[in-house]
Amino acid sequence: ADKDDAKEDDSKSDSKKSDTAKGSLDVSDIAAEALPSIVSLTTKSVQEVQNYYGMYGMFGYAPQQQEQEVEGSGSGIIVGKNDDEYLIATNYHVVEGADTLSVDLADGTAAEATVKGFDEEKDLAVVAVSVDDIDSDTKDAISVAKIGSSDDLKVGEQVIAIGNALGYGQSVTTGVVSAKNREVSLTDGTMNLLQTDAAINGGNSGGALLNASGEVIGINVAKYSSSGSSSNASVEGMGFAIPISSVKDIISDLETKETRTKVSEDERGYLGISGFDVDEQTSQAYSIPQGIQVQSVVKGGPAENAGIAASDVITKFDGQDVSSMASLQSMLEYYKKGEQVKVTIEYRDGREYKTKDVTVTLGDKSLIETTQNAAN
């Protein structure tokens, strides 16, 4: 009987290997184990839009500006938990500009979330949900994801993608690793990504790419089309994910940030600078560190008082990488005037750049504008 059982086990093993080779691996058990760690994200933001059909617009006058609430969707992965919060990794572009953020958990319950930190260049963000906002039944229904290694992946290896495809809720798709370290041009720059033929569509961004052991080996980020990244793709079978091994340390760092909420325009802190974005191409061409090269500082403003000068390059704000003026402005939406923040700059010393940390006391925009007007 034991021999018969052994033969049966061998037969099942051979069958499973055969199924895997054919790309028809049954992923139901993997999906069932991973789904409790995957969430859906819903964002709301208020944007200004032009109304061309207002009272005057119909007769050729300038269009009217009006505010409109815009809703977006994406996915996230529960990557950690502490005494106060569940920590969720997602793409920065999913939460970018969001005024409110809601997380739908595995059992269908929803909770408000706040952004802990983000890295625009790597398209990563970590958001937090308060433990106090989740009841005991929901806590039993969710789990922290298992993190694997993308460095160990092989081309052709089976993978599973889970995410909030098109905002309909969690969908499971399968495929293989089509390529590793694929250089992909996206809207905001170039990234080295995993390529897969697992179906990835709008709303999947921020969701998990799993290996056959159910470990997260990538964060889904884009689907390729002939016109770029789009949910209306005319090129099929090309999805991309951020390799988890390349961003583990960044996620861990973002998890430690102070949880912040957006502050009102009146309360918001300001640096008092103008500057240029220094991207990777510009950095290589002109031997300037990546970040923001300061064009000018407001006389007597926060930046100047902290020792920041024209031609310095700002590379970090409160420990977070700064890649553009837009990313810096997004960060400042969470900081109040009067707060002290560490800013990392690169300053020229002869033919070289040297690194220095300065402490900036964020200023009041109205006072900065008053100072500028007085100078003019």
Residues marked as catalytic: 93, 123, 205
CB proximity list for 25: less than 8 A, separation 6 or greater: 16, 19, 158, 174, 212
- CA-based nearest residue to 35, from 127, 143, 133: 143
Q: Which two tokens stand for residue 228?
A: 């770029």
For the chain, the residue count is 376
Q: Distance between CA atoms of 294 and 314, rounded to whole angstroms?
A: 7
The residue type found at 144 is V
Q: Which H or E element spans position 128?
A: strand 124-130
CB proximity list for 290: less than 8 A, separation 6 or greater: 278, 279, 280, 283, 313, 315, 323
Q: Distance between CA atoms of 320 and 199, rounded to whole angstroms?
A: 32
Pairing of strands 313-317, 320-321: antiparallel
Q: Indicate the burial class of 127 (C-beta count within 10 angstroms; 0-12, 13-18, 19 or more).
A: buried
Whether the CB-CB separation of 82 and 89 falls below 8 Å is answered with no
Whether the CB-CB separation of 287 and 161 falls below 8 Å is answered with no
Q: Which two tokens stand for residue 95?
A: 């939460």
- CA-based nearest residue to 230, from 253, 256, 203, 207: 203
Q: Indicate the burial class of 244 (C-beta count within 10 angstroms; 0-12, 13-18, 19 or more).
A: buried
- Which residues are paired to 357 by β-bridges? 344
Whether the CB-CB separation of 205 and 75 falls below 8 Å is answered with yes
